[in-house]
Amino acid sequence: MNVVNVVPMHTPPPPPRSRESLHVSVLLRETLELLGTRGGGLFVDATLGLGGHSEAILEVPGTRVIGIDRDEKALGLARGRLARFGDRVTLVHGRFSEIESLLAGLDVTQVDGLLADVGVSSIQLDDAARGMSFRSEGPLDMRMDPSTGDTAKDLIDSLDDDELADVIYRFGEERRSRRVARCIKQASAAGELHTTLDLRRAVVRAVGPARIGGVDPATRTFQALRIAVNGELDELTALLDAATRVVAPGGLVAVIAFHSLEDRLVKRALRDRTTWSPLTKKPVIAGDDEIAENPRARSAKLRVARRIEPGKGLSVVPEPEDEEPGE
3-state secondary structure of 109: coil
**Integer Cα distance of 234 and 160 in angstroms:** 22
Top-tier CATH class for 2-117+232-307 = alpha beta
**Integer Cα distance of 161 and 183 in angstroms:** 9
Q: What is the CATH number of domain 148-229?
A: 1.10.150.170
The predicted model scores a pTM of 0.87
Per the prediction, the chain carries an average pLDDT of 90
pLDDT at 119: 84
Q: Which of 206, 262, 256 is nearest to 231 (CA)?
A: 262
**Integer Cα distance of 124 and 241 in angstroms:** 26
3-state secondary structure of 73: helix
pLDDT at 59: 97
Of 19-23, 66-70, 115-119, 169-173, which gets the smallest average pLDDT? 19-23
> Sign (positive/negative) of CA torsion 165, 168, 169, 170?
positive
Domain coordinates of the chain in residue numbers? 2-117+232-307, 148-229
Q: Which of 234, 4, 265, 254 is nearest to 111 (CA)?
A: 254
3-state secondary structure of 282: coil
Q: How confident is the model at residue 324 (pLDDT cuts 50, 70, 90)?
A: low
Query: Is pLDDT at 326 greater than 50 in this prediction?
Result: no
